[in-house]
Amino acid sequence: MRTPPESPLADDVLRLVRSAWEPDAARATYLPVGFGAHHWRIDAPSGPVLFATLDVPTGFRTTPLTRAAYRGVVELAEAGFSGAVVPRLTATGDVAVTAGNGLLSVTPWLEGRSPDEVEARGSAHALRVAALLADLHRCPAPPSAPTWTSRVASGFAERLMTKLSEPWTAGPLSEEAHRTISRARGDLPEWERRYGRLVAHARSRRHLWVPTHGEPHHANQFLDDHGLRLVDWETLAIAPPERDIRDLPEEARGDFTIDERLLELF
């Protein structure tokens, strides 16, 4: 997300922030960071005060699902979970406002850092993440949180093989992707069948599903004087715990009861 979106512009973001969250906001500065969402630093006369995020809907992550996920993490915090950087509510008690074709939310501006991949794979840090995820998984399901669903509809392999009969020109890696998937075309139907069996197994264990972050990797981990927290909660869902555990190094999984088939699924 190195370049700002065509809409909203920084002035539009500033106007929305003033209206919904911070009347004294003086400037919105675009931040070329992150993956999948746009971000701005919101300054007031005394300095940075808010971190604004624009989530753009996709076929898998719609605006209602994002709004529900953010409401869910607010409910987690209200119930006592301290491991999240939580969206700040608007003046009317909402978690976000519509902006362009996306959803604008804010969190407090915090001074801290994310660990790099090497630090995140280290034993001491990975065990901290595992303890945080265990706390999350013990929380009661937030009423607003979405429930995980399969992203692969029936007939996926057949549709994909139809697309392989055409050239792929959408971007600089299109041809390479086409060649790679074409080499596996004979395996696609069985992969889809295997995936379907794993999804059915997950659903048979619905009573064991818990609140999950969905992407607790190093880039969504935040370290500051408060300790370790997770950011980017638009992926929150009630799901098998393996949805989160799959991001932990094997040596940090010891305190979890793990279903290897669900690790494979995720």
pLDDT, position 46: 83
pLDDT, position 218: 96
pLDDT, position 61: 87
Q: What is the pTM of this model?
A: 0.92
Report residue 36 as tokens. 């999948």
pLDDT, position 164: 96
Classified as helix, coil or strand, 69 is: helix
pLDDT, position 211: 98
Question: What count of other Cβ atoms lies within 10 Å of the Cβ of residue 110?
Answer: 15
Question: What count of other Cβ atoms lies within 10 Å of the Cβ of residue 49?
Answer: 19
8 A C-beta contact, residue 145 and residue 69: yes
Classified as helix, coil or strand, 31 is: strand
What are the pLDDT digits (tens) for 76-111? 999 999 999 999 999 999 999 999 889 999 999 999
Report residue 194 as tokens. 């295997």
pLDDT, position 201: 98
**Which segments of the chain have a pLDDT < 50?**
none
Cα–Cα distance measured from residue 143 to residue 151, given in angstroms and rounded to the nearest whole number: 22
8 A C-beta contact, residue 214 and residue 236: yes
> Which DSSP category does 103 fall into?
E
Cα–Cα distance measured from residue 170 to residue 175, given in angstroms and rounded to the nearest whole number: 9
What are the pLDDT digits (tens) for 183-217? 999 999 999 999 999 999 999 999 999 999 999 99
pLDDT, position 232: 95
Task: Write down the H helix ranges in the chain.
Answer: 10-20, 63-78, 117-121, 123-138, 156-164, 174-183, 188-204, 242-245, 260-265
Classified as helix, coil or strand, 142 is: coil
8 A C-beta contact, residue 61 and residue 37: no
Residue whose tokens read 């007939």: 155
Cα–Cα distance measured from residue 154 to residue 205, given in angstroms and rounded to the nearest whole number: 21
What is the total residue count of the chain? Answer: 266
Whole-Å CA distances, 152 to 24, 77, 94, 157: 46, 32, 31, 10
Whether residue 32 has a cis bond before it, omega within 30° of 0: no
pLDDT, position 34: 80
Residue whose tokens read 């362009």: 100
pLDDT, position 58: 87
